[in-house]
Structure 1
Amino acid sequence: MSPASPNPSSAAAQCTLRLLSCNILAGASVQRYSDYFTRSVNAVLPGRAKLANLDSLAELLHEFDVVGLQEADAGSLRSGFLNQTRYIAEAAGMPYWSHQPNRPMARVAHSANGLLSRIEPTEVIDYPLPGRIKGRGALFVRFGHGSDALVVVIAHLSLGAAARMGQLGFIAELLAPYPHAVLMGDLNTEPVSAEMRHLFAKTALQPPRTSTPTFPSWKPRRALDHILTSADISLERTWTLPRAFSDHLPIAAQIRLPIALAQAAGAPLSD
């Protein structure tokens, strides 16, 4: 866990936390399907537009307590060798950040999962996820100690259903010892899929009450990005940010923790 510039926040009042999950596509902006082809050079080259996109995202993070990033570049040609997780953390004044580099492609691209937090984690562990094609990972974050610890897992899953089934099975085993859990990320599947039903059957995570489409960002039709919570964590609402920072819309959630859990996790409480 690496500290960014300290800037404590009182954004979370009482036992309420605001979470955000965002696939940032290494800072690239995609506004229509044709951009995948006409702007394909952006996938391998840095540029001012990418930094401006990251700056715009950072400006919105003042109201969030824990942020999970997917497809942040860990420092390669396409980002100008910039660690994008660190850049956003410092620009947003998030005191704690960590990242999980995966899928290096020479020095051209190096994707990562990222964590930004206003609460100090007790433990951060990188776990590689199973799959025929290696390179997917889950970032395991624990706040607090013992049975009252809050665990957050940030993940970016594969495109294939069979691979996702194995990856979600791995995450289910990872979360089994922890009754207070959040899973967030680009899971690349709808909440009613067979692999998601398997996840809900094996963990305390609850299916979302409503579907929140996030993809494609310019005309969202599919709910591929999720913030899932265990039964004892009240998921008060979920929503998407109106501004697209990639081909996925960021998904946000407001959760309410039991007092004992909030205290154990170090979440700020009101008087």
Structure 2
Amino acid sequence: MLRATTVILLSLLLAAPEFLPPPQSTGPANSAASCGGPSSQLRIMQYNIHSGRDSRGRLNPRRTASVIERSGAEVVALQEVDVHWSRRSAWRDQVGVLASRLGMNAFFAPIYTLPPSRAGYPKRRFGLAVLSEHPVLATTNHRMTRRSTQHPSGSPVRLPGFPEVLVDINGTAVHVYAAHLDYRKSPRMRRIQVREIVTVLDRGDSGAPRLLLGDLNATSRAPELVPLWKRLRDAAGHTGAPTYPAQRPEVRLDHIAVSRGAEVVCSTTVASTASDHLPVVAELRIPS
């Protein structure tokens, strides 16, 4: 009887479209119970969605939406987002699909905008996005120095793809930034990009809460990220759990950083292979 019950339970788990264990606390002063419990004033998520493909490269946008929905995140930063980009994502508008499924406002910040694959088809775009359950007051797609993957020369150029979204959180205007830094081993380009991020951060209202969510392609203790920590605080306290690769995480590339105007209740990673990166979730208290 016990053996039969075990077989049934295993069958149910394998059949489930997305089995998500409880979030795990990653900060030294965090409480796993508080992160797994009811949301504080604001729950946010950082997620590189790998163009809607899972850790084995299989396209499954429903799993992507399921991870976000089950996390309870109210504001989400996404990287590697396709909008009519290519066959790898079935030419879908991933921002529109996710926003519709989740009932959230969306801002898409393309890095690349290319001609359509055929006459009369939409333009091909690839970039970042911010989703929000809360009202969006203003949006900007800032430029950043990048080595383009779409041009053979690979010379550094100024390209868009650093979104800033002003979100109304219960009457408080909060600046949300989403970033995706250079993936190459050399830190030289990331160093330039961090300087540019800092410039944008310093332009805003210093009294308003600022949240930076990103795949920074570096650990929090990497020298090129030091200028960020002079203005923002790592939500996981520089001791967060690894986020990449999703199946056997070895390094933390995905980060949430907050200004003094936001209190971190806890920070977690969510176990899921819906992407090649693990999502990071943080719960915050935002003063009114």
Q: TM-score, normalised by structure 2?
A: 0.71
Q: Is residue 29 from structure 1 mapped to residue 39 from structure 2 by the alignment?
A: no
Question: Contact 1:19 / 1:65 at 8 angstroms: preserved in 2?
Answer: yes
Question: Contact 1:66 / 1:118 at 8 angstroms: preserved in 2?
Answer: yes
Q: Write out the 4+ residue segments of structure 1 that deviate beyond 4 Å after TM superposition.
A: 104-109, 133-136
3-state SS in 2 of match to 1:178? coil
Map 1:165-204; keep pairs closer than 5 Å.
165-176=191-202, 177-179=204-206, 180-201=209-230, 203=231
Alignment partner, residue 127 of structure 1: 142
Structure 1: stretches of 5+ with no match in the other structure: 1-12, 32-38, 43-48, 261-271
State the AA in 2 paired with 1:173: T
Q: Is residue 163 from structure 1 mapped to residue 189 from structure 2 by the alignment?
A: yes
3-state SS in 1 of match to 2:228? helix
Higher strand proportion: 2
2:247 maps to which of 204, 218, 229: 218
Question: Contact 1:181 / 1:229 at 8 angstroms: preserved in 2?
Answer: yes
Range that drifts further, 105-114 or 163-172: 105-114
Map 1:32-111; keep pairs closer than 5 Å.
49-57=59-67, 59-60=69-70, 63-78=72-87, 79-94=89-104, 96-104=105-113, 110-111=125-126
Alignment partner, residue 7 of structure 1: none
State the AA in 2 paired with 1:90: S
2:283 maps to which of 242, 245, 254: 254
3-state SS in 2 of match to 1:158? coil
Q: Is residue 137 from structure 1 mapped to residue 196 from structure 2 by the alignment?
A: no
Whole-angstrom CA distance in 2 between matches of 1:164 and 1:107: 31
Structure 2: stretches of 5+ with no match in the other structure: 1-37, 118-123, 147-155
Whole-angstrom CA distance in 2 between matches of 1:112 and 1:102: 5
2:174 maps to which of 147, 150, 157: 150
Whole-angstrom CA distance in 2 between matches of 1:114 and 1:77: 18
CA spacing shift, 1:14–1:215, aligned 2, 3 Å: closer
Whole-angstrom CA distance in 1 between matches of 2:44 and 2:194: 21
CA spacing shift, 1:29–1:119, aligned 2, 3 Å: same
Whole-angstrom CA distance in 1 between matches of 2:242 and 2:68: 22
Aligned length: 227
- The alignment's C-alpha RMSD in Å is 2.5
Measure how far apart 1:135 and its partner are: 4.7
Q: TM-score, normalised by structure 1?
A: 0.76
Alignment partner, residue 244 of structure 1: 273
Whole-angstrom CA distance in 1 between matches of 2:40 and 2:270: 23
Question: Contact 1:58 / 1:89 at 8 angstroms: preserved in 2?
Answer: no
3-state SS in 2 of match to 1:149? strand
Whole-angstrom CA distance in 2 between matches of 1:221 and 1:105: 35
CA spacing shift, 1:58–1:256, aligned 2, 3 Å: closer
State the AA in 2 paired with 1:166: I
Measure how far apart 1:192 and its partner are: 0.4
